[in-house]
Amino acid sequence: MTTATTELETIQREVETHGHGRVPRELRRRQILAIAEDLFVERGYAAASMDDLATRIGVSKPVIYEIVGRKDVVFEACVGRVADALAAHVAAAVAGAGPADEHAGLRAGALAWFDFIGERRGLWEALLSSRDVPTTEAVESIRVRQDRWVATHLVASAEARGRPVDETLAGAVATAMNGAFEALGRWWHDHPHRSASELADLYTDLMLPGLTSLLDVADR
């Protein structure tokens, strides 16, 4: 049973505790997005319809439009939900590794990233890697937000060692790091026999020398 499935079942049980027409708005929104994620995974963005979504939820389309919005808005909300969960998962892993060992922090973050994607492979590909998904401003804004988070972490890590770095350079490195995550995630689709741990090791081996050379965030 996947994490996403467990979450949807929990939401559905909570919905069932409320009478018809009495489901709280925020709970209904969570239900709409969780079911929409399943629909996008099953059919892809282009083939998924709002009629199908309304039928699966058991509400009318106007209810979905009023609580979330049109199909593209529902899609963007699903992307944002997954991106926020991924960012929180990675941040917790990096924090848990502690600030003293940059290698350990980098690998912990990488492993968290690939574990998350591995557990939600179908969802990740349906939302971000499929060719039929719209390239929206919301998706790009999420990438920008992730880049900023990584850049901020890099600057803080270097400054904690008494080695200030140029924030613009840190931003460029962060963009490259996140791009490598997405690229390896796509590569993983064609090489599913590789484990999340192997991908994390590969990512760390690729990134750490560059971080040391460009930002001097790790002890030489």
Residue 81: predicted pLDDT: 87
Residue 2 has pLDDT above 60, yes or no: no
**Percent helix, strand and coil across the chain, each to the nearest 5:** 80, 0, 20
One fold for both 3-69 and 75-214?
no
When pLDDT is averaged across residues 28-45 and rounded to a whole number, the result is 92
Q: How far apart are CA 90 and CA 108, in angstroms?
A: 8
Answer yes or no: pTM beyond 0.85. Answer: no
Q: Say yes or no: domain 75-214 is CATH 1.10.357.
A: yes
pLDDT tens, position by position, 113-165: 999 999 888 887 777 666 666 656 667 777 888 898 889 888 887 777 777 78
Q: Hey, where are the domains in the chain?
A: 3-69, 75-214
Fold designation for 3-69: Arc Repressor Mutant, subunit A (1.10.10)
Provide the residue type at 130 as one letter: S
* Banded model confidence at residue 29, pLDDT cuts 50, 70, 90: very high
**Tokens, residue 166:** 């140029």
